[in-house]
Amino acid sequence: MGSSMATGVVVQLLFFGFQLVALLMSGAVLQVEAQGTWEILVENAGIASMHTAITRFNTAVLLDRTDIGASQLALPNEECRNDRQDESLQHDCTAHSAVLDLGTNRIRPLFVQTDTWCSSGQFRDDGTLVQTGGDNDGYSKIRTFTPCPGDGDCNWVETDVPLVEGRWYASNAQLPDGTQILVGGRNNPTVEFVPANGRGATYVPLIGNANDGQADNLYPYVHLLPNDQIFMFANQYSILFDWKTVTAVKQLPNLPGGPRNYPSAGSSVLLPLSAYIDYALPEVVVCGGATYGAFLNPGAALPATTSCGRIAPLSEGANWQMENMPLRRNMGDMVLLPDRTVLIVNGAANGAQGWGNAQNPVLTPVLYNPNGAVGRRFQVLTGTKIARVYHSTANLLPDGRVLIAGSNTHQFYTLTGYLATELRIEAYSPAYLRGNRPVIAYAPGELAYNERFEARVENANPRAIELNLVSAAYSTHSFGQGQRLIELNAAVPAAAGGGAYTVAANAPPSAVIAPAAYYMLFAVSEGIPSVAQWVHVG
């Protein structure tokens, strides 16, 4: 270990120790105990995954930028990428995208031509990943990846139809009509649709007005709500947005505590939607972020915030309820877990997003329980030894683990020194992966909206069985685009013999609740999830 890396590790340990003592004295931490385990799945993936998505074939799509020089992963069969517009390496025989087979942990290189730096994406209803924008020659590109089993040869396809306007640092959301809305981007305060179907780009004042001099309006938080409107958030401002008329319908109160989007990014999720209350009163939570000025003054190492805001945007008199995380964090990733809790992982305690702007990586995740009392919702978990800061990702896996990848605080691959480019891929196993897990012995592979269906569940307590659908998010830059969890109305189980139970439930009522797509169906018993079965809803 070099002297600079050793110094960084010591600083991080001292920082965490002092912070934890202060928290214990203040009583702000619910629990501090070893919770969950970490394992390295791949020692060298060859690329640092800036964008990660999990497919219905139990593979992970990994994607970095192209203008970064040679990666550590060769393209097969002496294939090379030739691009006269590439700003680093115009003849490149290495891959900048790959597929990880989650069953074997094998990496297969993929070929992507145009620059995907800080682009965005979302799954289409047929399971195809639509990937949009980027920098340089990728600025107006639409790419698709139709996944296949791990031993298949599926690859990226770059379409000939461009975006209406270029997108760099934008966010995507799947809509009930099967199209995707693309929101914002650097120097682009508009929205557009893919496919456009004749629609152009429309200016959105929220995005334009949220640029505060350091562009804290990038990668906006976009959540489709059960009333068919969009909760749209940039910087510390939010609106309800009608995607059909492409207009803002309500201005919501500002979130206190400074900017929350790139480059001062915290993270955000739409909390689980529940059939038991007819999917009413959705809530959004935003946690973490950087101090304003941290991006403009990287040497100052300004502290990140501990604050979280939670709002029910459709309620009368909607306002932010504030609380504090146990640890300061920006660049964290919030992941909805199948037991309806939220993992907050990755990030740094000082600085902001950008090359070389982060200091004091936060190695310790926390768990957020939305159903806990205010001030008692957080639990400190077992930490990793691998720093994940700028350009890191976190995705829920069908077996209940969380895939952690990426981290590159440098313009190019820098494999030595403090906060080196991270090519290892980890999995975090939450504490619920213990004991005798329930098993989905049968569930239909297709669910029509509002269809009454039955699942056969084994190894479960019949008095405590949940059926929860979780989408496959596109994780990038501290935001899981398209992430949502839907708690179905599981009926009282009926004994099916042999210790198994038949559980009946209704599929989501419409594409407003669950846009057509492939979802992971989990059976959860006493907080312990099964391995998910992929089902198509729509």
405 and 457 belong to one structural domain: no
Determine contact, residues 270/231, Cβ cutoff 8 Å. Answer: yes
Q: Average pLDDT in the 460-479 region?
A: 96
pLDDT band at 435 (very low <50, low <70, confident <90, very high): confident
Q: Which of 3-7, 9-13, 379-383 has the highest mean pLDDT?
A: 379-383
Q: What is the pLDDT of residues 281-332, one digit of tens each?
A: 999 999 999 999 999 999 999 999 999 999 999 999 999 999 999 999 999 9
Query: Is the pLDDT score of 6 beyond 80?
Result: no
186: amino acid identity, one letter: R
Percentage, residues of the chain above pLDDT 70: 94
Instruction: Report the CATH number that the domain containing residue 74 is assigned in CATH.
Output: 2.130.10.80
pLDDT band at 34 (very low <50, low <70, confident <90, very high): low
78 assigned to some structural domain? yes
* Whether the model pTM is above 0.75: yes
Determine contact, residues 470/453, Cβ cutoff 8 Å. Answer: no
> Which DSSP letter does residue 368 get?
E
Average model confidence (pLDDT) across the chain: 93
370 assigned to some structural domain? yes
Counted domains in the chain: 2
Range of the domain at 506: 439-537
Bridge partners (DSSP) listed for residue 61: 53, 99
Number of neighbours of residue 10 by Cβ within 10 angstroms? 10
Higher per-residue pLDDT: 19 or 237: 237
State which of 409, 429, 449 marks the end of a domain.
Answer: 429
Position 122 scores a pLDDT of 97
Kindly provide the residue ranges of all beta strands, DSSP E only, lying in 235-356, ordered along the sequence: 237-242, 247-252, 267-270, 273-274, 284-287, 307-311, 321-324, 333-336, 342-345, 348-351
Bridge partners (DSSP) listed for residue 108: 99
411 and 452 belong to one structural domain: no
434 assigned to some structural domain? no
Query: Is the pLDDT score of 379 beyond 60?
Result: yes
Q: What is the pLDDT of residues 207-265, one digit of tens each?
A: 999 999 999 999 999 999 999 999 999 999 999 999 999 999 999 999 999 999 999 99
Determine contact, residues 191/165, Cβ cutoff 8 Å. Answer: no
> Which DSSP letter does residue 262 get?
B
264 and 375 belong to one structural domain: yes
75 and 184 belong to one structural domain: yes
358 and 476 belong to one structural domain: no
Residue with tokens 């020659």: 137
421 and 448 belong to one structural domain: no
Percentage, residues of the chain above pLDDT 90: 91
Distance between the two ends of the chain, CA-based, in angstroms?
52
Determine contact, residues 127/53, Cβ cutoff 8 Å. Answer: no
Q: Average pLDDT in the 471-491 region?
A: 97
State which of 380, 401, 429 marks the end of a domain.
Answer: 429
Q: Average pLDDT in the 387-395 region?
A: 98
Q: What is the pLDDT of residues 493-523, one digit of tens each?
A: 999 998 999 999 999 999 999 999 999 999 9
296 and 162 belong to one structural domain: yes
Bridge partners (DSSP) listed for residue 348: 330, 361
Assign 486 to helix, strand or coil: strand
Bridge partners (DSSP) listed for residue 456: 442, 502
Query: Is the pLDDT score of 8 beyond 60?
Result: no
245 and 286 belong to one structural domain: yes
Position 434 scores a pLDDT of 85
Determine contact, residues 369/341, Cβ cutoff 8 Å. Answer: yes
Q: What is the pLDDT of residues 128-180, one digit of tens each?
A: 999 999 999 999 999 999 999 999 999 999 999 999 999 999 999 999 999 99
Position 28 scores a pLDDT of 41
444 and 425 belong to one structural domain: no
State which of 365, 399, 429 marks the end of a domain.
Answer: 429
Number of neighbours of residue 126 by Cβ within 10 angstroms? 12
Instruction: Report the CATH number that the domain containing residue 503 is assigned in CATH.
Output: 2.60.40.10
Query: Is the pLDDT score of 87 beyond 60?
Result: yes
462 CB burial (10 A radius; 0-12, 13-18, 19+):
middle
Query: Is the pLDDT score of 3 beyond 80?
Result: no
448 and 300 belong to one structural domain: no
Residue with tokens 């009282």: 492
Determine contact, residues 261/218, Cβ cutoff 8 Å. Answer: yes
Question: Would you mind telling me the total number of residues written for the chain in this entry?
Answer: 538
Query: Is the pLDDT score of 12 beyond 50?
Result: no
Q: Average pLDDT in the 88-116 region?
A: 97
Position 19 scores a pLDDT of 43
387 and 515 belong to one structural domain: no
496 assigned to some structural domain? yes
Distance CA 534, CA 58 (A): 9
369 and 455 belong to one structural domain: no
Q: Average pLDDT in the 43-69 region?
A: 97
